[in-house]
Structure 1
Amino acid sequence: MSKFNKEQKIEIYRKWKDEKISISQLSKTYKTNVANLDYMLRLIDMYGINVLDRPYQVYSKEFKEQAIEQAIFGTKSYVQVSLELGLKSIGTLSIWLREYKENGYNVIIKQKGRPARDQRDSKITQGIGERDPKAERRKLAIAYCERIRKKTEGLGSR
C-alpha cells in the first residue's frame, strides 16, 4: 500500500465505494496490480480509513507464530488471514511463511539497523544450531497438512 499517498488511497476507495467503479478499471486507471488494489480496498472497507494512519508496525514473535499457524493449519487463504489480522500488505504473511520455512520452522526476529563495530567482521548465522522440539513437531504437522492437501486436490480433480 505504499505506492499511493493517503489522499490518493481515499480517492480510489471513494470511487470504488460511491461511484461503483470496478477494481479492474481502477487498476488500469492508476496503473497498479489488481490483487494489491483489491487487498487495499478490502482492508479499508473492513477497518475504515483510519487504517491508513497507522505507522510502521513491528510484530512480536508470538504474533507471527499465531499468524503462521492460522495460515498453515486453517482453512482460510493467506489473503483472508492477512485481512483478519489487519496486515497492511498482501505479501507480509507470505514473506513470514517463506522465512519460517527457510529458518528451519523457527520464527526469528531480525535485528534492525547497522551491526555494532565489533560484530561487523564476525559472521553471525541465524537459525543454525539446535532445533526447538516444538519446531520439529510443527514441521511434521505442516508436512502432514501439505500431504493431505495434495491428496484432496488429486481426488477433487477426478
Structure 2
Amino acid sequence: MSKLNKEQRLEVYNDWKLRNQSVSQIARSQKLNKQSLNYMIKLIDRYGIEIYDQPNTRFTKDFKEEAIVKALTRTKSLDDLSLDLGLRSNGILCNWIREYKKNGYNVVIKKKGRHPAHEQETQPITQGFEEADPATRRRKLKIAYCECLRKKLSALDQKYHKK
C-alpha cells in the first residue's frame, strides 16, 4: 500500500464507516491494495487513528520471538495476530517470520543506520546467497566452474576451426 498521511487514512476510514462504501470500492477509487486497506480499517476501528501518531516503534527480541511463536503455532490468522499486537502493517509479522526462518530459527534484530566509513568492510561480490550447508556451496561452485570451462573450450574450439 502506498504511504498515506494521517488525513488520508482518516478520510478512507470515514468513507468506509460513515459513507458505507465497501473496501473494494475504496481500494479501486484510491488505487490501494484491498487486503492492506482492510487491515488499516480494522486497526483504526480497534485502536483509533491515534495509533498512527506514535513514532516508529523498536520491538524487543523477546516481543518478536513471542509473536513469531504465536504465528507459527497458528492459533490465529496472521492478520488477527498482527491486530492483537497493534502492528501498523500486516506485513511486519510476515517479514519477521521470513527473517527468522532464513536466519536459522533465530530472531533477527537489525541495527539502524549506517556504519561509520572506517568500520565498513568491503564484501566480495558473490553470485547468489551464501548457503549454510558447505556441501551445497561446493556443488554450486563445481557447477559454476564446469560452466566456465565449457565456455572457454567452446571459444577455443571456434578459434581453432576458423584457422
TM-score by length of 1: 0.74
In the TM superposition, 1:28-107 aligns within 5 A as: 28-107=28-107
Percent identical among aligned pairs is 48
Q: Contact 2:2/2:32 (CA < 8 Å) preserved in 1?
A: no
Which residue number corresponds to residue 113 of structure 2? Answer: 113
Which residue number corresponds to residue 126 of structure 2? Answer: none
Q: Which runs of 4+ in 1 moved over 2 A?
A: 116-119
CA RMSD of aligned residues (A): 1.8
Aligned length: 125
- Which residue identity lines up with residue 32 of structure 1 in the other structure? L
Gaps of 5+ in 2: 124-129, 133-163
The Cα of 1:2 is off from its aligned counterpart by: 5.6
* 1:17 pairs with 2:17: yes
Question: 2:2, 2:59 → 1: CA distance?
Answer: 18
- Which residue identity lines up with residue 115 of structure 2 in the other structure? P
- Which residue identity lines up with residue 49 of structure 2 in the other structure? I
**Greater RCO between the two (CA within 8 Å, min separation 6)?**
1
Question: 2:82, 2:44 → 1: CA distance?
Answer: 13
- Which residue identity lines up with residue 8 of structure 1 in the other structure? Q
What secondary structure is seen at the aligned counterpart in 2 of 1:20? coil
